[in-house]
Amino acid sequence: MTEQELTSRAGQTRSAIVTAALRLFRENGYDATTMRAIAAEAGVSTGNAYYYFASKEELIREFYARNQAEHAAACQPVLAAETDFATRLHGTLRALVDVLAPYHEFAAKFFKHAAEPSNPLSPFSPESSAVREAALALYREVVDGSSLRLSRQLRAQLPELLWLYSLGVTLFWVHDSSPGCAKTYRLIDRTVPLADRLISLSRLRVLSSTLTDVVSIIDDIRG
């Protein structure tokens, strides 16, 4: 077997394990699902499952990474075609909900672990740094490819503010029981123009100082 074939086979095995894990998490819950059960569902040995993923947490992080990659790809049509900031942000946030949609059925159980501050699955944890940096890079692309006129300080901080905004949208989506998560899409439709207006007005002195204070608070929290 060639090296390329081995790489392809390994990728297929990893994908099968992740798919099996997500199916069992949905059906049985995260806590009740064991690595042994995941391996059996994926059709591999328990040792083989552990070879690719040392724990269930690593499986979830793989899920996060795949979702982030899918989200970035889903955003490219609007980011390639538009320079208007509001349009770019609106398309990026709606694409996020589109990508998450298949997992809404068990999202509350799934994301409760991410809400625990000390949990490695928290979006703020050191273990989640790779996915977090990828998300920040996406929102940096949203800003840098737009026609926004911003101060240097706000331009540097805005991607993180937008990422935090997206986390708020995700939390709303988790608890959204409306058909097709229509309320979440409506939330995006209504709040993006407000965010665009506030950011555009940041050039005014009265709002510039307020946004500077917000950025300073975030810096302090980040430590």
Tell me: pLDDT of 3 over 70: no
- 80-112 pLDDT, tens digit each: 999 999 999 999 999 999 999 988 877 777 677
Considering the chain, what is the average pLDDT of its residues? 86
Interior CA angle at 69 toward 173 and 89, to 5°? 55
* pLDDT of amino acid 61: 86
* Per-domain boundaries in the chain: 1-54, 57-222
- 52-87 pLDDT, tens digit each: 999 888 888 888 888 999 999 999 999 999 999 999
* pLDDT of amino acid 199: 86
* pLDDT of amino acid 209: 64
- What's the mean pLDDT in 153-174? 91
Residue type, 47: G
Percent of the chain exceeding pLDDT 90 equals 50
Per residue, what are the HEC states of 7-58? HHHHHHHHHHHHHHHHHHHHHHCCCCCCHHHHHHHHCCCHHHHHHHCCCHHH
Q: Is CATH 1.10.357.10 correct for 57-222? A: yes
Residue type, 101: A
Inter-residue contact 78 to 87 (CB < 8 Å)? yes
- 112-121 pLDDT, tens digit each: 777 777 788 7
With DSSP H G I counted as helix, E B as strand and the rest as coil, what are the percentages for the chain, rounded to 5?
80, 0, 20
43: left (phi over 0), alpha (psi -120 to 50) or beta: left
* pLDDT of amino acid 211: 65
Within 10 Å of residue 156's Cβ, how many Cβ atoms?
13
- What's the mean pLDDT in 187-198? 94
Residue type, 29: G
* pLDDT of amino acid 11: 82
The reply to whether the predicted model has a pTM over 0.75 is yes
In this structure, what token pair is assigned to residue 101?
């949609």
* pLDDT of amino acid 57: 85
Max intra-chain CA distance, the chain: 67
**CATH number of the domain at 1-54, please?**
1.10.10.60
* pLDDT of amino acid 46: 92
What does the DSSP assignment read for 49-88? HHHH-SSHHHHHHHHHHHHHHHHHHHHHHHHHH---HHHH
